[in-house]
Amino acid sequence: MQAGRPQVAKPKLKPSMDDGGRLRRIEGRHHPLLKDLRQAFAREELSAEGYFGIEGLHMLEEAIRSGLKLRAVFFSASARSKAGRLLPQIGPHTETLLLGDRLFASAVRSETPQGVAALVRARVFKLEDVLERSRSGPVVVIVGLQDPGNLGTIIRSAEAFEAAGVLLGEGTVSPLNAKAVRASAGSLFRLPVVRVQLQGLLGQLRQRGIRTVATVAHKGTPLTQAAMTGPLAIFLGGEGAGLGPALIRNLEEVVAIPHSGMVNSLNAGVASSILLYEAWRQRNST
């Protein structure tokens, strides 16, 4: 500091009538909870304690509605007014922190931060949890899907049409990717989503009497003629490569969605929604 220059004290932030003084201001980048938030968004996986990061007012409200435990909630200075809406829904033992806009933006991944983020504890499911639910709805198996928006859409449609759960095979993007979480619109907080190794999965499905169905763009049983009832596993491939011929040969049926020949294939999120709707329609019309 240059000698003789007076120090200018930072103005103290007065408690807002909206937040009742519950917000605790933090200034440094190295605050432990802020570091945990930053790492949660960067790693796209659960922390050792089972927490992951979410961003946005709607997503936080969905997490609360879904009964997830909150470790800490973060507000940017410019979004402080949103605290008045959220704090009554947040238990008194959850840390509620206020950050400068720039500090908040350094921790989240979105280009246009919404000013609200949180560390939430995930519900952890196992493969067995999904298979046990297979009589109430189809199991969705995703292989090699890289687009997080598509993954989030599939998870959202899976919950909407009462699927048993979603199994993620090798090469599939993390469901904790911020775009995937956002596209799931809260369904990720409630529906079983489990990472699996495809080797051995087919045997477990057959052992339980779960029929396996591949989805392809062309040359399959038209969806309108396919039986989509009973215990069922719907396999969806990634962008471009699809499921691959070796896997398709080991599945029991190949189903295609009829569409104009001017379009080579449907977006994975769109295709999954159509398939899941048809399975739901058939189950509920019998």
Helix or strand (DSSP H, E) at 141: strand 139-143
Domains of the chain (ranges; CATH) run 24-121 (3.30.1330.30), 127-285 (3.40.1280.10)
Q: Which stretch, 45-59, 79-93, 260-274, has highest mean pLDDT?
A: 45-59
Instruction: Work out the mean pLDDT of the chain and round it to a whole number.
Output: 88
Task: Give dist(CA 115, CA 30) in Å, integer.
Answer: 19
CA 250 from chain centre, in angstroms, equals 29
Burial of 36 (0-12, 13-18, 19+ CB in 10 A): middle
pLDDT at 286: 63
pLDDT for 67: 95
* pLDDT number for residue 113: 86
Token pair for 164: 């048993």
Is residue 162 scored above 90 in pLDDT?
yes
How far does CA 215 lie from the centroid of its chain?
22
Q: At what angle do helices 268-285 and 148-160 cross, to 10 degrees?
A: 10
Distance CA 232, CA 140 (A): 9
Task: Please report the pLDDT score of residue 3 as a whole number.
Answer: 46
Range from 10-19, 32-41, 169-178, 189-198 carrying the lowest mean pLDDT: 10-19
What is the H or E stretch that residue 130 is in?
helix 127-132
Q: What is the pLDDT of residue 19?
A: 59
pTM: 0.88
- pLDDT exceeds 70 at position 219: yes
* Strand partners for 250: none
d(CA 191, CA 59): 15
Instruction: Give the model's pLDDT for residue 29.
Output: 85
CA distance 122 to 11: 38
